[in-house]
Structure 1
Amino acid sequence: MPGTEDDSSSSLFTAVTEFLDSNIRLTRNLLYGIGVVGFVVAVKNSGLTHLITCASDVPLNYIVRRVRVRSYVEAVGTRGVVHVQHRPFLNIIPNRWRPRSHVQLELALVDITPLGSKWLQDTILHRIVWFQPLALTDSTVHSNILFHKYFRRQSVNECLVQQGMCTVTVLTPEQLKTLSDPQQQMLKKLLSHQKTATEKEQGMWKIHKEKNEWTLPYRIKTIIFSPINFWRKIRRKFFK
């Protein structure tokens, strides 16, 4: 009985092998089809072709997966709101058939200043950037924005704080508890950069030190002009 089962399985394998050998073209096309379907499924799951037309189109798992979205900066608002157009890496749909995308970005955990807003206009306006979503609202994506500088990507949020052009947002204990892991890591980096900028007196943290009045040139000047100043006071008082 066992020998009968072995013979049946071997005969089935032989029949399948003979069928594949006799239909090489069909077998090759079948393998190509399976590969194309697998590639399409992988690309779709990766999000490379997902078009983001507004803030509500950003998937929530982008925050957890720390996905960086490629986009083009169209405008920078006075309050630091960055208006971008999403440009995916794989553009399957022709441009004329694609819906117009317009995503509003805000720098996460950074209080923008007029100086910082001007820096944004001079640095990233009409350039390709990548934004990493950290929090979502109905109309705005609070993001960590990155741009190319010297062959590597730098964070706009960190640059502004590091150069003393903006401050880190002050959060209440209740707000700190609601931060996600990416937000907590970003906040830790920004606070470290702000501390360094304060110590080095960068940007708004620069302290205009008063000149030391007890230097040697000041003493010589005081000795020379003190009799003249004393005589002027006497004249003003007694010879009016």
Structure 2
Amino acid sequence: MRGADDDSPSSLLTTITKFLDSNVRLTRNLLYGIGFIGFVVAVKNSGLTHIITCASDIPGSFIARKVRVRGFVEAIGTRGIVHVQHRPVLNIVPIKWRPKSHVQLELALVDISPPGSKWLQDNISQKIIWFQPLSVSDSTVQANIFQWKYILPQSINVMLVGKGICKVKDLTSEQLTSMSLTEEKLLEQLLHQQMIASEKERGMWQIKDKETKGSIISSLKNSLASIAHFCRKVKRKITKK
């Protein structure tokens, strides 16, 4: 006859513990299996093995989670379009079976110039880069592109504007109000770097004559207007909170 406390939680725990102790090999294999399944799920959710063959293959979760994607720059096209072959960090599919990928990237919020396009050609063509997609259209990805310098990733978008090679793209009020938080932070960085470049007369901001000076002042006014609109938008968000 079973005792009154045989069905108690402590009794059940004791039974399970004795079973696991007497089946050490089974317990170890079970733990290995659980760990492997957890690893597979984590890798899948990280996007490290997801194959991107074109812009439309980029999941919306990549944008929301700020995932950075690894790629090989095949060529720099017209208007500074960066043609990239996606190369996942974990290549679980053999190269010969992997679909050919071709992703077209545009430097987000940057008005690319001929010197900027040449810089891209000279510095990142045929090299590995990382890109963080910010928005996706049918054929191109607006992205923040990174290259590794020493041990840290450096934003090429911010670098080109800071060098005075390119300037911040002129945005409409509708584009400014529809920006994501990530895009707003990038825009803030770009405008800050552009202001520094103009103050130090780097690249295109070098003043050579009155006509050029007038053009620069006009560009700066547009940039300052964008900054003011951006600040008002941030203030409205803070006020609502």
TM-score by length of 1: 0.81
Deviations for 1:53-101, whole angstroms, at most 9, x for unmatched residues?
1111111122221111111111001210000111111111111111111
Structure 2: state its 5+ residue gaps: 211-241
Confirm or deny that 1:28 pairs with 2:62: no
Compute the RMSD of aligned alpha carbons: 1.8
The equivalent of 2:87 in structure 1 is 87
Q: Match for 2:5: what amino acid?
A: D
Structure 1 outlier segments of 4+, above 4 Å: none
Matched, 1:6 2:5: yes
> How far does residue 114 in structure 1 lie from its aligned partner after superposition?
0.8
Quote how far apart the aligned CAs of 1:19 are: 2.6
Change (3 A) 1:126 1:5: farther
- Residue 109 of structure 1 aligns with an amino acid whose one-letter code is L
- Alignment partner, residue 121 of structure 1: 121
**What secondary structure does 2:78 align onto?**
coil
Alignment of 1:25-174 (within 5 A): 25-174=25-174
| Amino-acid identity (%) | 63
Distance 1:198 1:5 in 2: 85
- Quote the Cα distance in structure 1 between the aligned partners of 2:45 and 2:201: 47
Distance 1:152 1:11, change over 3 A: closer
Q: Secondary structure at the match of 1:7?
A: coil
> How high is the TM-score relative to the length of structure 2?
0.81
Separation (CA, whole Å) in 2 of partners of 1:4 and 1:107: 74
CA distance in 1: counterparts of 2:155 and 2:80, whole angstroms? 15
Larger Rg: 1
Partner of 2:18: 18
Give the Cα–Cα distance (whole angstroms) in 1 for the partners of residues 3 and 158 of structure 2.
73
Contact 1:44 1:50 in 2 (8 A): yes
- Contact between 1:162 and 1:194, CA under 8 Å: does it hold in 2? yes
2:213 corresponds in structure 1 to none
Cα distance in 2 for residues equivalent to 1:151 and 1:72: 19
- Alpha-carbon distance between aligned partners in 1 of 2:13 and 2:104, rounded to the nearest angstrom: 60
In the superposition, relative to structure 1, how do residues 80 and 33 fare at CA in structure 2: closer, same or farther (>3 Å)?
same
Does structure 2 retain, via aligned residues, the 8 Å contact 1:78–1:114? Answer: no
Query: How many residues align structurally?
Result: 208
Matched residue SS, 2:153: strand
Does the CA-based 8 Å contact 1:63-1:182 persist in structure 2? no
